[in-house]
Amino acid sequence: MSAAGRPLLPWAHRSGAYALPTSLLVRLRLGEVPERIPAVMDVRRGARAAAPASGHGALDRVAATFGTAIRISRLHAAARALRTVGERHRGYSEDEEVSGVARMLRIDVEPGTHVGSLALSLMQLDLVESAIPNYVTTVGLDAPPMPAPRDEDDPDGWAARDLVNARRALAYSSGRGDVVVGVVDSGLALGHPEFGQRLRRGVDTVELGRGDLAGGIRLLGDNAGADTDPSDRFVGHGTGCAAIIAGDGLDIPPGLGGGCTLIPVRSLGAALFPGRSNAVGVGALSDLDMGLVLAVQLGAKIVNCSFGTDDEALEPGAPKPHSEAVAFAEARGTTLVVASGNSGDARTYWPAADPRVIAVGSVGLDRQVSPFSTSGEHVALCAPGERIRTAGLGESYQHATGTSFAAPFVSGAAALLVERAQARAAALDPAQIKALLIGSATPHRAGTPGGNGSGVLDAARALELLDAAIDADDTTDLGGADDG
């Protein structure tokens, strides 16, 4: 959730975070999920009915003490059953079981239930690994998109790309269509000319209900159901991120990921906040986790995640959001690139703070760390994030600002690394990609405070370090090749 102007809204136990008032997320221990509980995707499509009980007497009794009926479904489908309508809860892999993806339940309850207290009560049961309200996060509150006339300091949009050595990187490795990048965000303007033939069929996981959220937040467009249309018609956040990764280069520089292919995943709905004219992206943890896992299951080797939940909004000692989705991505060899946040201070957002992801801060064209960029020891490196010229809604363009738009530069660079490793028949895992990007970054300017990573992305240097490591037959410690 945005740190700026965060409203105090109901349904969290003691914190000021907003959570959907009639659902929570519960992960059971290995072997404890009854096989009959259906997948959320099938429930949303009407192919299955949610289970009216868990089959565990203790869990059902705890729910009963809150005076609520429950409806239970598995948050994630099994990868091998994605196309088997009505049977998506069957055939989970070992990776899905061990990571927790197969064991994450969405429990829907009746209006008026105190989901925060129910989550705390469920955490006392031995069979429960984690229980958390279905918190809502937002993007776009801090820096609304701006029209994109030619910038006097950067008329063609190349200055930000040159800061990360994009021209040389794209000459070094042009990227390939079989390297797939997932963009879990507000969806894409699918007809934008910058995307050409770059898009695979995407998905929409948004389930925020209909009408208004609490506090006068008004939902816009499609915010319920399940479909394969990830169109972004109101926000432009995901469109801006995607074009930085894989734009065709018609009226902006080409995407840093070269010829990579995108999977658009709409997991953030659209909403208007009181007193604001620009729509923002709003997403429940359940929808974001579904989108992240689906991107991995559909073949993404890199997933761009320009969203986050403030740790201060969670209950003290509460489970951290997205942990099973991150574990699953790691098990499948998928690199997660995450925006650090726009709070302007040292702060912990999830999933950025998870050590298994690459957390990205923002700098300006002068390589000064942006005043809004969230810092912390978990930040790996920075990339340009101020007034980035990129694609917008419809067929428009925008200047976008925030760590949300720094992260896609790193996602694009990661895609080039994957392509280069494949071309040279070398194995490359997420930890090695992270080490390469950190080790090749241009050091920060003198006087830059700590907590902003190793420096500023240098995509070409990262490719050189990869080649040097492969030439030396030293793929076990790619991060150590500091001198190329």
Per-residue confidence (pLDDT) for residue 362, from 0 to 100: 98
- Nearest-CA neighbor of 332 among 302, 354, 353, 291? 302
CA distance 238 to 366: 26
Amino acid found at 95: D
Arithmetic mean of pLDDT, 262-271: 96
Burial class (CB in 10 A: 0-12, 13-18, 19+), 84: middle
pLDDT in tens, 135-160: 998 886 444 455 555 556 677 889 99
Is 256 inside a domain boundary? yes
- Euclidean distance between CA atoms 452 and 378, whole angstroms: 9
Residue range 295-320: mean pLDDT, rounded: 92
- The range of the structural domain enclosing residue 437 comes to 146-480
Of the residues 87, 114, 134, the one at which a domain ends: 134
Q: Which pLDDT does position 149 carry in this prediction?
A: 56
Contact 454, 360 (CB under 8 A): no
Q: Where are the alpha helices (DSSP H) in 123-179?
A: 158-163, 166-172
Give the Cα separation of 407 and 110 in Å (integer): 38
The share of the chain scoring above pLDDT 70, in percent, equals: 91
User: How far apart are the C-alpha atoms of 442 and 55, rounded to whole Å?
Assistant: 55
Q: Is residue 248 part of a domain?
A: yes
Burial of 315 (0-12, 13-18, 19+ CB in 10 A): middle
- Rounded alpha-carbon distances, angstroms, from residue 414 to 170, 292, 411: 12, 17, 5
Q: Clarify whether residues 226 and 356 are in a common domain.
A: yes
Q: Give the Cα separation of 165 and 465 in Å (integer).
A: 14
If you write DSSP's letter for every residue of 208-262 in order, what string do you get? --SSBPGGG-EEES--SS-BS--B-SS--HHHHHHHHHH---SSSPPPTTTT-EE
Q: What is the pLDDT of residue 333?
A: 98
pTM > 0.95: yes or no: no
Question: Could you give the CA distance from residue 279 to residue 121 in angstroms, rounded to a whole number?
Answer: 36
Say whether pLDDT at 257 is over 70. Answer: yes
What is the Cα–Cα distance from 398 to 467, expressed in whole angstroms? Answer: 36
pLDDT of residue 132: 95
**Among candidates 281, 351, 271, 274, which has minimal Cα distance to 310?**
351
The values of phi and psi at residue 144, to 5°, are -65, 150
6, pLDDT greater than 60: no
Residue 480 has pLDDT above 80, yes or no: no
pLDDT digits (tens, 9 = 90+) for 379-411: 999 999 999 999 999 999 999 999 999 999 999
pLDDT at position 150: 55
pLDDT at 197: 85
Which of helix, strand or coil describes residue 43? helix
Residue 191 forms part of a structural domain? yes
Query: 134, 155, 182 — which closes off a domain?
Result: 134
Q: Does one domain contain both 272 and 412? A: yes
Please tell me the number of Cα atoms within 13 Å of 250 on its side-chain side: 12
Please report how many Cα atoms fall inside a 13 Å half-sphere around the Cα of residue 417, on the Cβ side: 36
- pLDDT band at 2; cut points 50, 70, 90: very low
CA 468, CA 420: separation in Å to the nearest integer? 12
Q: Report the range of poorest mean pLDDT among 123-137, 204-218, 372-386.
A: 204-218
SS3 369: strand
- Number of compact structural domains in the chain: 2
Residues 358 and 433 grouped into a single domain: yes
Q: Are residues 406 and 331 in the same domain?
A: yes
pLDDT attached to residue 8: 32
> What CATH number does residue 229 fall under?
3.40.50.200
| Cβ-Cβ contacts under 8 Å for 285 (sequence gap 6 or more) | 25, 132, 134, 135, 136, 137, 309, 321, 322
Distance of CA 281 to the CA centre of its chain: 12
pLDDT given for residue 194 in this prediction: 97
Whether residues 98 and 220 fall in one domain? no
Of 125-134, 191-200, 217-226, 321-330, where does mean pLDDT reach its minimum?
A: 217-226
Q: Cα torsion for 342, 343, 344, 346, to the nearest 10°?
A: -120
Q: Quick one: pLDDT at residue 342?
A: 94
- Mark whether 98 and 44 lie in a shared domain: yes
Give the pLDDT of residue 167: 97
Backbone angles phi, psi at 368, to 5 degrees: -80, 140
Q: How far apart are CA 283 and CA 381, in angstroms?
A: 26
The answer on 229 and 370 residing in a single domain is yes
Asked if residue 375 and residue 343 are part of one domain, the reply reads yes
The pLDDT assigned to 478 comes to 54
The pair of three-digit structure tokens given for residue 40, joined into one six-digit string: 């959320």
User: Does residue 358 share a domain with residue 256?
Assistant: yes
**3-class SS of residue 166:** helix
The reply to whether 312 and 414 lie within a common domain is: yes
**pLDDT grade for 211, boundaries at 50, 70 and 90:** low
Q: Whole-number mean pLDDT of the chain?
A: 90
User: Residue 54 above 80 pLDDT?
Assistant: yes
Task: Tell me the pLDDT tens digit for each residue of 55-95.
Answer: 999 999 999 999 999 999 999 999 999 999 999 999 999 99
pLDDT of residue 198: 87
Is residue 389 situated within a structural domain?
yes
Q: How confident is the model at residue 9 (pLDDT cuts 50, 70, 90)?
A: very low
Same domain, 103 and 172: no
Identify whether residues 128 and 180 lie together within a single domain: no
Greatest Cα-to-Cα distance within the chain, rounded to the nearest angstrom: 67
Residue 19 pLDDT class (50, 70, 90 cuts): confident
CATH of the domain at 61: 3.30.70
Evaluate whether 425 touches 466 at the Cβ level (below 8 Å). no
Q: Say if residue 212's pLDDT is above 90.
A: no
Chosen domain end from 134, 158, 178: 134
Number of H helices, E strands in the chain: 12, 19
> Region 447-470: what's the mean pLDDT?
97
Name the pLDDT band for 477 (thresholds 50, 70, 90).
low
- Cβ–Cβ under 8 Å, residues 305 and 405: no
Three-state DSSP at 102 gives helix
Does residue 414 form part of some domain? Answer: yes
- Vertex 187 angle, CA 84 and 240, to 5°: 145
Q: What 3-state DSSP class applies to 304? A: strand
Give domain status of residue 339, yes or no: yes
Instruction: Give, for 384, the enclosing helix (H) or strand (E).
Output: strand 379-384
